[in-house]
Structure 1
Amino acid sequence: MTEQETRVNESQADAEGVQGTDKSNAPKEVAPAEYWEARYGSAEQMWSGRVNQVLVETVDEFDPGRALDLGCGEGGDVVWLAKRGWRATGIDISETAIQRARAAARDAGLTETQANFRVADLAELAADERFDLVTASFLHSPVELPREQILRRAAAHVAPGGHLLITAHAAPPPWASDLHDHGSGGHGSADHSSEDRDSETHEVPRFPLPQDELAALDLDPEEWDTVIAQTRDREAVAPDGAHVVLTDGIVLVRRRAAAVPQ
């Protein structure tokens, strides 16, 4: 499997059925931890283990410090950061994901001081830790997850002079239309009858744009600077082998360093 094919499979997993924004066919009353544990348990490996390219392009020139990766999955980004001198921590609500992340770090020859992983509820982070970099990559979920609350909490963990990097799907993948009812914009499951489809009304799913992320963060302009707020296209290979373009939304904000007393 090529790198492009692997990456598009990862995007498909996040956006499957326009997953992450369309909750019309999401499991009802399933806790996020339960859902994601079952999801990771359904396959030996969910992701490629490769670092997200936006992270590489954005922070490769940063001076290493303490880093926190929200929803770290199987640990690819944390391992990459740790190899570059960061003291990196990854948290996820799936025990299986964290076990795999720890194994990946051991395989890379990293110590727990270099790459640390915790099973933790992203909505209930302890407020007493500060990091020079906090990242959240493709933090989408088909079951209810308080994403905006999580990202606001994430900002609170950024140390003075540090950065918060958010990468998200900014548009559905081109093949997502194949998963929708024609003309409805809603997700159409293969096992729905035509009668079911006719009786259901779905809203067109909406992916967060950078301006949406900034508005939800509601950061104090006296304390924060916006470094990047843009969409960025990347080439990929669709499940049918076609070459396509995917669109990511990228937000990088920097917390201003504390003023030095005169």
Structure 2
Amino acid sequence: MGETFDENFWNERYGREGNVWSENPNPQLVAEVRGLRVGTALDAGCGEGTDALWLAGLGWQVTGVDISSVALERAAARAVSFETAGSVVWEHHNLLSWTPPKDSYDLVSAQFMHLPRQDREPLFARLAGAVAPGGTLLIVGHAPSDASSGARRPHGTDLFFTAQQVAATLDPELWHVQVTESRPRRTVGPDETQITIADDVMRAQRRT
């Protein structure tokens, strides 16, 4: 039987010494957000809060949501030392059962949410429903090719998705898909050697 990625799992992981994730914002978030008008944002699966705090530094009014209360405690502690033009509120929700407020955010970001398809697609649909007219949906994941890259990645092909697959779930009458790309980048692998990985990036704007 596989692991259950519930709150207990994530609390235990975030409760260990040291950061679970990088202290730098996700690179595709940085690449895609720079040209957007600042407004309200939802960071779904915010973890230790790096992306949310980076957005707040640009002036965004951010809601950071995560299943792990320990991660949110870490995020709130980090926020104390940040001076931001915007703001962040932290909310504790299980994204598999939580429905965000509809039509509420100028940006909804989900970075590397690798879940079984039967969980992932309803989640992405709920996140899409939270985007305000004229707002942006940004979904980024590890490319399926990463499974053979040497990087540490989720086990099971069902946990991977492509940008095109995400875009295909959006109603073209409601959405203008702006980006569907697989972007290679260099990183350090588990054995400290340089490897090439790729991020699948889907960005869409909700029509007004």
**TM-score, length-scaled by structure 1:** 0.71
1:104 matched to 2:55? The reply is no
1:209 matched to 2:162? The reply is yes
Q: What letter corresponds to residue 193 of structure 2 in structure 1? A: A
**1:153 — aligned with what?**
126
Structure 2 residue runs of 5 or longer lacking an equivalent are: none
**% identity of equivalent residues:** 36
Structure 1 residue runs of 5 or longer lacking an equivalent are: 1-24, 180-185, 188-202, 258-262
RMSD of aligned residue pairs (Cα, Å): 2.5
Alignment length (residue pairs): 205
**1:38 — aligned with what?**
12
Distance 1:95 1:106, change over 3 A: same
1:232 corresponds, among 176, 183, 186, to: 183
Q: Alignment partner of 1:247: what SS?
A: strand
Deviation of the 1:103 alpha carbon: 1.3
Deviation of the 1:129 alpha carbon: 5.8
**2:56 — aligned with what?**
82
Whole-Å separation in 1 of the counterparts to 2:42 and 2:120:
16
1:174 matched to 2:149? The reply is yes
**1:220 — aligned with what?**
171
Is the CA contact 1:67–1:134 (under 8 Å) kept in the aligned structure 2?
yes
Deviation of the 1:125 alpha carbon: 2.2
Deviation of the 1:107 alpha carbon: 1.2
Distance 1:61 1:126, change over 3 A: closer
Is the CA contact 1:32–1:144 (under 8 Å) kept in the aligned structure 2?
no
Deviation of the 1:101 alpha carbon: 0.8
- 1:22-64, CA deviations, whole angstroms, 9 ceiling, x for partnerless residues? xxx632xx36222212221233321222100101111112110
Whole-Å separation in 1 of the counterparts to 2:161 and 2:65:
22
Distance 1:81 1:204, change over 3 A: closer
Distance 1:223 1:144, change over 3 A: closer
Q: What letter corresponds to residue 81 of structure 2 in structure 1? A: D
Whole-Å separation in 2 of the counterparts to 1:39 and 1:104:
18
Deviation of the 1:176 alpha carbon: 5.1
Is the CA contact 2:100–2:126 (under 8 Å) kept in the aligned structure 1?
no
Q: What letter corresponds to residue 79 of structure 2 in structure 1? A: A
Deviation of the 1:89 alpha carbon: 1.0
Whole-Å separation in 1 of the counterparts to 2:113 and 2:93:
15
Distance 1:35 1:232, change over 3 A: same
Whole-Å separation in 1 of the counterparts to 2:118 and 2:94:
10
Whole-Å separation in 2 of the counterparts to 1:53 and 1:245:
15
Q: What letter corresponds to residue 148 of structure 1 in structure 2? A: E
Deviation of the 1:81 alpha carbon: 0.3
Distance 1:129 1:103, change over 3 A: farther
Is the CA contact 1:69–1:78 (under 8 Å) kept in the aligned structure 2?
yes
**1:122 — aligned with what?**
95
Q: Alignment partner of 1:208: what SS?
A: coil
| Range with bigger deviation, 80-89 or 32-41 | 32-41
**1:15 — aligned with what?**
none
1:26 matched to 2:2? The reply is yes
Deviation of the 1:116 alpha carbon: 1.1
Q: What letter corresponds to residue 88 of structure 1 in structure 2? A: V
Q: What letter corresponds to residue 167 of structure 2 in structure 1? A: L
